[in-house]
Amino acid sequence: MKNHFDAIVVGAGYIGSSVAYHLSKAGLKTAILDQGPIAAGASRANYGNIQVQDLELEHSVTMIRQAQRHIETLEEELDWNLGLRKLGGLLPIENENQWNILSAREKSLQSIGIQASMITASQLQEVEPTIDPTNLLGGLYHSDEGQLDPFQLIFAYLTRARAFGLQEFYHTQVIGFEVEHSRIKSLKTPNQNFSAEFIVLCTGAQTAMLGRKLGCDWNAIHYVLGQAMVTEPLPIQMRNHLASASFFEMGADIPAGVLLANMAISQSTHGNLLLGESMFEADHFDKNLPYQALPSISRSVLKYFPAFRNLRILRGWSAAIADTRDGLPLFGPVESIKGLYMATAFRSTVIVTPLAGKTITQLITTGQSELDIQAFLPERNAYVSH
Ligand SMILES: Cc1cc2nc3c(=O)[nH]c(=O)nc-3n(C[C@H](O)[C@H](O)[C@H](O)COP(=O)(O)OP(=O)(O)OC[C@H]3O[C@@H](n4cnc5c(N)ncnc54)[C@H](O)[C@@H]3O)c2cc1C
């Protein structure tokens, strides 16, 4: 049958492209579908930072450790220049509450072997010479994070997967599913249907909406609109990607409708500064910036980097990021619908991208995986109800 595959991956972002590569490489006749072009979702809107210290501390440690090892060999495996480089990660702290939260986090990170350390205000410029420490108490610093070029990674996966026979269908939106005797059979798009033994949803923030087409209330997945902008290239070289410690003050719940401006800065491999990030829990996917975003991002950045005052902004954007209340991804088989898998809502997606593809492929081809995914099962804690 023309549109019958062993496996269909829905979503051509970081996660979907990795899953499609690993499934194709394992010899499965695989298709990838996206409602837009390649990287139509959050994967075209981010900094490409490989974040180690931004992990959920209870269940995600093994995943992040394994994920780190896969990143190290990635350029070699794909035989592709991904712009991979080492970078520090710095969380500047501006009040005592943040200091206390991050001191506790430092101890937890160290106890699981992650080398993050608290530094004082007077040490800040040693690790990031461009920062103005005047209004800061210090920071939590990790010397061993990194960055890659998001588009190179996604293109590399898809190009290599093509050589293993991957078939690609872009501008092809999944609008429904057929489930028979609790087993996934096919999915519907406006012009044609596709059938497969296995379907993997790598659909990021839109996964909950797709769940409704399956009669499932995937209430775990909510989403925030993350917003950022890019400047003209700078001659200086920043040593770190920075995110305000206020991210950790927020807790899991971002109040609906409230715009939060937490500084997040990275420099791209081309020298441009990526400035963010204001975010709010949203009920729409508007890629345009709301009018408050540019000034709120600018204010949060200029607090620590007054030297950037006269930089020219080239453009800004917004993208929906999937999030869960417990900070864990939805990753593994949907047990109530045989043949259906999910890989979405990772807290730091870039670092887990290679491991996610490998793990889903092991689950599909052998029924088990090296990584223990028990805590990430999509239907944990009645996260998914029918
Ligand atoms: C400003 C900003 C900065 C960020 N910086 C970082 C960072 O430095 N490091 C990091 O790890 N993360 C970062 N993130 C988060 C990161 O971008 C996301 O976690 C990541 O892109 C999610 O990838 P994904 O493949 O899971 O989902 P997505 O990239 O969102 O892909 C989902 C895909 O599914 C498709 N899709 C959805 N529904 C359907 C349907 N019905 N039919 C067909 N296709 C469908 C979409 O079109 C989309 O292409 C940042 C986010 C933002 C906004």
Architecture in CATH of 4-65+150-220+326-385: 3-Layer(bba) Sandwich (3.50)
pLDDT computed for residue 330 by the predictor:
94
| pLDDT given at position 282 | 65
Per the prediction, the chain carries an average pLDDT of: 91
Residue 62: CB atoms within 10 A of its CB come to 13
Any atom of ligand 1 within 6 Å of the Cβ of 224:
no
Residue of 236, 201, 239, 216 whose CA lies nearest to 86? 239
**Whole-number pLDDT of residue 294:** 80
Residue 303 has, within 13 A of its CA and on its CB side, a CA count of 21
Q: For residue 259, what pLDDT is reported?
A: 62
Q: What is the pLDDT of residue 222?
A: 79
Give residue 90's region: left, alpha or beta (phi > 0; psi -120 to 50).
beta
- C-alpha of residue 57 to centroid of ligand 1, in Å: 23
| pLDDT tens per residue across span 11-69 | 999 999 999 999 999 999 999 999 999 999 999 999 999 999 888 888 999 999 999 99
Parallel/antiparallel/unpaired status of strands 176-180 and 116-120: unpaired
Examine the pLDDT at 382 and tell me if it is beyond 60. Answer: no
Nearest CA to 383 out of 218, 222, 252 is that of: 218
C-alpha torsion angle, residues 127, 136, 266, 44 (rounded to 10): 150
Domain chopping of the chain, boundaries: 4-65+150-220+326-385, 85-145+222-323
Q: Between 56 and 2, name the one with better pLDDT.
A: 56
Please work out whether the CB of residue 329 comes within 6 Å of at least one atom of ligand 1.
no
pLDDT in tens, 126-174: 999 999 999 999 999 999 899 999 999 999 999 999 999 999 999 999 9
Specify the pLDDT at position 383.
58
pLDDT above 60 for 89: yes
Alpha carbons 10 and 169: distance in angstroms, whole number = 10
- Tell me which of 46, 275, 347 to substitute to probe ligand 1's pocket, judged by most ligand atoms within 8 Å of the beta carbon: 46
Banded pLDDT at 103 (limits 50, 70, 90) = very high
Q: Which of 161-165, 219-223, 339-343 has the lowest mean pLDDT?
A: 219-223
Tell me the pLDDT tens digit for each residue of 264-299: 999 988 899 999 876 666 666 676 766 677 888 888
Atom of ligand 1 nearest to the CA of 349: 11
pTM for the model:
0.95
Q: What is the mean pLDDT of residues 311-321?
A: 90
Q: What is the DSSP string of 200-212?
A: EE--GGGHHHHHH
Q: Given a cut of 70, is residue 258 above it in pLDDT?
A: no
Instruction: Report the residue count for the chain.
Output: 386
**Nearest to residue 349, comparing CAs of 4, 6, 17?**
17
Identical fold between 4-65+150-220+326-385 and 85-145+222-323: no
Q: Looking at ligand 1, which atom is closest to the CA of residue 344? A: 26
**64 CB under 6 A from ligand 1?**
no
Q: Where are the beta strands (DSSP E) in the chain?
A: 4-10, 30-33, 49-50, 85-93, 116-120, 138-147, 167-169, 176-180, 183-188, 193-201, 217-218, 222-233, 240-243, 260-267, 272-281, 313-323, 330-333, 340-344, 384-385
Question: Between the CA of residue 148 and those of 156, 269, 308, 320, what are the distances in Å?
Answer: 12, 8, 24, 21
* Phi, psi (rounded to 5 degrees) for 188: -110, 140
DSSP 247-264: HHHS-SPPPBT--EEEEE
- Does 89 contact ligand 1 (Cβ within 6 A)? no
**Structural tokens at position 287:** 């890629």
Is it the case that residue 205 has pLDDT exceeding 70? yes
CATH topology for 85-145+222-323 is D-Amino Acid Oxidase; Chain A, domain 2 (3.30.9)
* Separation of CA 319 and ligand 1 centre (Å): 8
- Of the two residues 250 and 237, the one the predictor is more confident about is 237
In this model, does residue 251 exceed pLDDT 80? no
Q: Would you say residue 175 has pLDDT above 70?
A: yes
